[in-house]
A and B are shown apart, each in its own frame.
Chain A
Amino acid sequence: DVKVTQSSRYLVKRTGEKVFLECVQDMDHENMFWYRQDPGLGLRLIYFSYDVKMKEKGDIPEGYSVSREKKERFSLILESASTNQTSMYLCASSSEGAPGNTIYFGEGSWLTVV
């Protein structure tokens, strides 16, 4: 059974804290993605990675960074959390190739910054 696992489902952090959101996939996928989801805005891409140590900015990268040291793991880092980063974060992965390759999502991480 294919799996994308987000290590934390619910987090509460203080303003200014450094926050790590971890995502692991077991399908040997080249591509991994981080999205945030907000009501009325849909899912917006923060960063994606198409290979180990490779990353590209998505539509809303400000305030975030990422790390991909191993193929199966893609971490989202909030260097100094702010209240406007309170959101639901979704990790996804897919193999390289055709546009129709299935994209698998994790269950989401609900982050509240107070």
Chain B
Amino acid sequence: AQKITQTQPGMFVQEKEAVTLDCTYDTSDPSYGLFWYKQPSSGEMIFLIYQGSYDQQNATEGRYSLNFQKARKSANLVISASQLGDSAMYFCAMRALARGGNKLTFGTGTQLKVEL
């Protein structure tokens, strides 16, 4: 079975600082993808970044980067130069091809608050 663990229910960061949101995962499938989504208070799910299990390099998208450590089964999200608009809930998710019809399994989320 697939499992995603996010151990930080809440995080605070000062504006312009960098912050790391932790995510560990468990799967026996050799081919899988890891995602991070942002959910502001409005409820929409905003895709941030994707990392494939066979990708050699860590994914980056603007201020977002994914610190992928395959042996440790971790996929932490790093947000650089935090902005007030980054305050939101962040979800780590995983998808495997081998079983489950491409379903996406989510962690419990981390509520990030950016302060002045």
Residues in A lying within 8 Å of B, measured CB to CB: 31, 33, 35, 40-45, 48, 50, 56, 58, 88, 90, 92, 94, 96, 98-103, 105, 107-108, 110
Interface residues of chain A: helix, strand, loop or mixed (majority): strand
Partner of B47 from the list A90, A98, A99, A103 (CB cut-off 8 Å) is A103
Can you name the residue of chain A whose Cβ is closest to the Cβ of B55?
A100
CB < 8 Å: which of A50, A102, A108 contacts B101?
A50
Please give the number of chain B residues whose Cβ is less than 8 angstroms from any Cβ of chain A in the complex.
30
Contacts A99-B102, A103-B47 given; 11 further ones with Cβ under 8 A? A40-B9, A42-B107, A42-B109, A44-B106, A45-B103, A90-B45, A99-B32, A99-B95, A102-B47, A108-B43, A108-B44
Quick check: B44 and A105 within 8 Å, CB to CB?
A: yes
Q: Is the CB of A58 within 8 A of B103?
A: yes
22 contacts between A and B (CB under 8 A): A31-B101, A40-B9, A42-B6, A48-B101, A50-B101, A50-B102, A56-B100, A56-B101, A58-B103, A92-B45, A92-B104, A94-B102, A96-B102, A99-B31, A99-B52, A99-B53, A99-B95, A99-B102, A100-B52, A103-B47, A107-B43, A108-B43
Which residues on B are within 8 Å of A, measured CB to CB? 4, 6, 9, 31-33, 35, 42-45, 47, 50, 52-53, 91, 93, 95-97, 100-109
What's the Cα separation between A103 and B93 when bound, in Å? 11
Q: Which residues of A contact B9 (CB under 8 A)?
A: 40
Give Cα distance in the complex from A40 to B9, angstroms: 8
A-side contacts of B102, CB under 8 Å? 31, 50, 94, 96, 99, 101
